[in-house]
Each structure stands twice: as structure tokens, then as C-alpha cells.
């Protein structure tokens, strides 16, 4: 290596660290296609796919009955659903418990006004790279994942809502 290339090396490392930090802060790589999946609405028996909701913003939440932060996220998702269901926001909450009875006990205590999807074989989390509960994916009206959020913190509700509003504005539904 020459002296000049050795002087540039620390600058390149700083730039690489900055790029990695930006990816971490942004919640992951942006604009990835959301893996499509199908599910049956337990209330109506109708089959749906994620792609059925193109044109809407989808807040896709992975949860389990044993997840403590999920208890706080459900009232918030109910609020979002009540405010924005007619403005292009669709909330899908994917339960990964082994039995529907476990999920139902949770839902008896923390009711959901939004769509619940049951994934008892936990086949969807690997498709999305879920690393913890809850994990939410913000999917734009083109079916692209724009943001990934692991965990739920009460203090971040306003920022979450604002991000979703911006996505609905971009979709022309807000």
C-alpha cells in the first residue's frame, strides 16, 4: 500500500461506519418488497393476501400472547385503526402463538378492533426477518416495506403515527 492509500483508509472506515449507522437508525433497508402471504379472516372465512391491500398503507405487526410490550401496543393499534381506517391505513396483526387458544386469552384481555392473522406454524416471521416481539413493518401503498420497528415504546407513539400519516399522504388517501 502506498502512503496516500493508507491516509484514505481511515476516511473510508468512517464513511462505512456512518453508512451502517444510518441503516440501523432508519430501522433497516428501505423499499424492500413485502413478502406476500395469504390468510383467512376468522370472522368471515374469506381468504385474503397481503397484496389485496395494495393502494393502502399496511401496518403489519407480529405479536404473541407472552409478549409484554404487545399489551401496550394493542390499545395504540386500536386508536390508529379508529382514526385512520377510512383514510387508507390497514392494520394486520400476525399472531405466532402455537395455539389459537393462547391468542384468544390475550385478545379477551386486550381486544383488537383490527384484523388478526393467525400463523400458528410461525412461517411468516422468517420471511420478514422478525427478531423480536412485537415487530412492526410499515408497508407503503406499492407493497414496499418502508420501515421496520422492533419493540414498542409508549413514548414513540407520536412518531409512529406521524410516519404513517406521511405514508398515507404519499398514497393520496389521507
Number of domain units in the chain: 2
Kindly calculate the radius of gyration of the chain based on its CA atoms and give it in whole angstroms. 19
Q: Clarify whether residues 16 and 83 are in a common domain.
A: no
Q: What is the pLDDT of residue 31?
A: 84
Cβ pair 92, 61 in contact under 8 A: yes
Pair (36, 121) in one structural domain: yes
pLDDT of residue 129: 96
Same domain for 24 and 76?
A: no
Instruction: Encode pLDDT of 57-79 as tens digits.
Output: 999 999 999 999 999 999 999 99
Q: Is the dihedral of CA 47, 128, 64, 149 positive or negative?
A: negative
Beta strands in 41-143 (DSSP E): 47-49, 57-63, 89-95, 115-118, 135-139
Distance from C-alpha of 49 to C-alpha of 39, rounded to nearest angstrom: 6
**Do 14 and 77 share a domain, yes or no?**
no
11 and 97 assigned to the same domain: no
The answer on 24 and 35 residing in a single domain is no
* Regions of the chain where pLDDT drops below 70: 1-30
Q: Quick one: 44 and 127 in the same domain? A: yes
pLDDT in tens, 123-150: 999 999 999 999 999 999 999 999 999 9
Q: Do 99 and 72 sit in the same domain of this protein?
A: yes
Tell me: do 43 and 12 sit in the same domain. Answer: no
Helix, strand, coil content of the chain in percent (nearest 5): 45, 20, 30
Say if residue 23 is in the same domain as residue 55.
no
Q: Does residue 83 share a domain with residue 57?
A: yes
Q: Range of 147's domain?
A: 31-171
- pTM equals 0.83
Amino acid at each position: 500500500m502506498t502512503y496516500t492509500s493508507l491516509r484514505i483508509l481511515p476516511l473510508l472506515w468512517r464513511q462505512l461506519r456512518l453508512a451502517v449507522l444510518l441503516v440501523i437508525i432508519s430501522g433497516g433497508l428501505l423499499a424492500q418488497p413485502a413478502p406476500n402471504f395469504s390468510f383467512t379472516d376468522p370472522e368471515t372465512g374469506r381468504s385474503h393476501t397481503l397484496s389485496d391491500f395494495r393502494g393502502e398503507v399496511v401496518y403489519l405487526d407480529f405479536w404473541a400472547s407472552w409478549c409484554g410490550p404487545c399489551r401496550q401496543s394493542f390499545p395504540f393499534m386500536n386508536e390508529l385503526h379508529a382514526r385512520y381506517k377510512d383514510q387508507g391505513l390497514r392494520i394486520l396483526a400476525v399472531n405466532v402463538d402455537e395455539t389459537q387458544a393462547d391468542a384468544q386469552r390475550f385478545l379477551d384481555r386486550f381486544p383488537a378492533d383490527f384484523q388478526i392473522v393467525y400463523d400458528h406454524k410461525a412461517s411468516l416471521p422468517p420471511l420478514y426477518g422478525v427478531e423480536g416481539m412485537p415487530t412492526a413493518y410499515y408497508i407503503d401503498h406499492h407493497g414496499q416495506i418502508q420501515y421496520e420497528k422492533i419493540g414498542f415504546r409508549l413514548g414513540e407513539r407520536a412518531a409512529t403515527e406521524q410516519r404513517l400519516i406521511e405514508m398515507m399522504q404519499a398514497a393520496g388517501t389521507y
